Amino acid sequence: MHIDLSGRTALVTGSTQGIGAAIAAGLAGAGARVGVNGRTPESVGRAVAELRQRLPAADLVEVAADVTTEEGTARALALLPDVDVLVNNLGIFEATPALEIDDAAWRRYFEVNVLTAVRLTRAHLPGMTARGWGRVLNIASDSAVVIPVEMIHYGTSKTALLAVSRGFAKEAAGTGVTVNAVIAGPTHTGGVEAFVRSLVGDELPWDQAQREFMRHHRPQSLIQRLIEPEEIANMVTYLASPLASATTGGALRVDGGYVDGILP
């Protein structure tokens, strides 16, 4: 398959590192103009410089804005007003005992992991539907389906994101715009490395620590390893393309077989 996103503009939230950076690279590699987003000009500038080293011909836009706030969203819209592909990747997570998650934490997770995606979708969907083409992709998690006891606030926020995706797909019905969620499984990022270390300790070499984490905390994984960010990006790049025009309202899994179910 040849994926060509030439002439399309994409925004990937939280794309200065990890999965977001891999998605930005995947879309740029397919020819899209890509808005790289982070909270500070410094972090965005570093990420763009790294991407340009890998993809010298990439068309990249620096979108330094805290999109978890209304003010930051307005700034992002000013910097990149017309978007054909919106990837709501930004999210937070941490391990916290269930009975110690207070109201403030619950609100914060809903604000960052759900309302940020809602706000940006609400802003960009009208333009997409008016143009008759667009893609909204929400990066969810296996935790949306298999709620982890060590972070039920995170899992619940990702469950809500699946519902948000399905609902906006209905809103966009018949317009040429598709809306999907991508269920990412345990993925090898800097944040996940720190999370793994918090659970298995700092003494073990990384390869062994990863195996211990998967064995004791994610034993359902059928690939029995962490997923690489580029593997998530491959799915996102496909779903962002014209080739995926009949796929909408779905929750597509890149989870290494972690979710023990046939559907979705």
pLDDT score of 263? 82
**Helical H segments across the chain, by residue range:** 18-29, 41-54, 70-79, 103-110, 116-131, 152-171, 190-200, 206-217, 229-239
pLDDT score of 57? 96
204: in domain: no
Total structural domains within the chain: 1
User: CB 38: neighbour CB atoms within 10 A?
Assistant: 26
Mean pLDDT by 10 residues, the chain (264 residues): 97 97 98 98 98 97 98 98 98 95 98 98 98 98 94 98 98 98 94 89 93 91 94 98 98 96 82
218: in domain: no
49: in domain: yes
Indicate if 154 belongs to the active site.
Answer: yes
3: in domain: no
Q: What's the domain range around 16?
A: 9-187+227-254
pLDDT score of 192? 85
Residue in the block written with tokens 């390893």? 225
pLDDT score of 112? 98
pLDDT score of 15? 98
171: in domain: yes
174: in domain: yes
146: in domain: yes
Which CATH number do you get for residue 247?
3.40.50.720
pLDDT score of 191? 82
91: in domain: yes
